[in-house]
Structure 1
């Protein structure tokens, strides 16, 4: 084993540490270390003594602090207990006051309820008394009704027997009525079939009339009126020798079994609408006292066999009037024109239209008056029946129930002061039935 060496810090030379050389160093180092260790032990003991003193001081301070805290807790506990006792005393006093007040309120409420109970018992007693009175009146009423039912039972049976017999008669009459109704329906169907045939025949006659006019008067304009429009069946515009329009003839064709005066008024309206000078009805059935043709209420009426000569005559008349009017044009003054208008067909047509309208309005007004008067009389009779029946029923109930039935003001006044004979009869009926 090699010996340890050290290096000189000055010369940097290595020096071997032999035992003889290292012994003093080791001894010195050992003594120094032991000295330090002893010093350290002394310091440690001193520190431990100081720590023990501090611990004793801390323990003593802790004990003092615990005593102070305990004292503080005791004093605070006593204070809180005193406050809580005071609060509890106040709460008990408040609860006691509240209970006393509630007791007083309950006492007052009991008094009120006792008063209301007394009133309710009194009202119940009155109600029971009235109920007994009503029950007595009802029993008396039921007894009276039962007596009347028994009295009227025989009459009811007799009435039922009569109604049964009348029912059989009604059934027989119903069958007869059904047969009559079926016969009417058959006749109506026949009439409709004949009417359809007549309508077709009428259309054929219209076409024949138009063809006749076109053949006889080729220079004139023949205008058929469409179906469903007002204006007759055909309009003949008469053309003069010089090509001027001389006037218009409105033609109406009828092919029925019977004549109707309503055709005249309708054709006059169509004449005014078309501004035609002449109106002609061609019909197989003519008015009374007319054999071939004639003027009836301003309208020419003719049989189909005399259409041609009548048309020639009327057309010739219009042509002459037209020529005369054309010759006098430019020579008329306003007065003459007014006179011609007043004496002409247009003014007459307009006046006739006004008169017919007023006549129709007057007839409608008369019909409305009659209907309203009839309706008033019917309502007056119905009201009188209702009042008589009401008075009779009131008298019956008053005779049964007596004074328990309340008085009706209107009926009592009628009974005391009848204003007319009708009310007197009603009161007599009330007295007899009561």
Structure 2
């Protein structure tokens, strides 16, 4: 009975143990399967992750390629737009520069040429200045603008005495006009001037420096002052004669005839021509004298050296009985000193 119970207990225990082992085995199998499934899922996840990573890398590569391509296209578009805008701006600036250059050239041309009125005023002011500087005792009166008449009136004075009036007209044009003479003659009558002078940069064909045409003196700029000096001398002589022959109508008529006649004109022309000739001769003489001075200086130097050499030879032959000449001694010392200095320089150069 006891053995039966023990056997039953053992059997029951074995069955329970077997059932428990079977349950544990099933649980183990189940867990193993879960582990396998988990590993499988992990592998799939890793594979999917790797594939996703590859796809991401491929996507990044494509995106980078697309960005590079789009960046290059954008750069080209921007450069094209900038180039087009720059070309337009450059063309606009070039058009402005060309327009401004034309305006500048036009202004330069106008400034260089100036209006005829401006050129005439400049010539008139220059005439006033040279007359005032050359004849400080005279009264130089410019004719006011807008007033009909010539350019300048020169009242000639000698020792406080009014000797007469010279009326001046200046012209700065490219061509000569004979109508100027008749107009200046009318101005001379209106102003009551004794002498009329027309100074022009352009002279008639037959006039080189100055001439009297229809009792109007015509001159260039360079001979204006010499002509004025000669005319002043004539007016002074006439004034002195007028004062000496007051109440002598016949002599006054003679003087007036002399002043307005060809003899006086020829004398003035001779004075101006003599002035020009003297100036030319003076320049020639200056050059000739400088050349002659240089030539004579060399000749004198050769004569002195020959004389000193001859004196030395004679002194060596005759001895101390030959009279001493101080100038010769000084000249010889100077030449010896120059020769010694030259020898010293040669020695230093050779060293």
TM-score (norm 1): 0.33
Q: Which has the larger radius of gyration?
A: 1
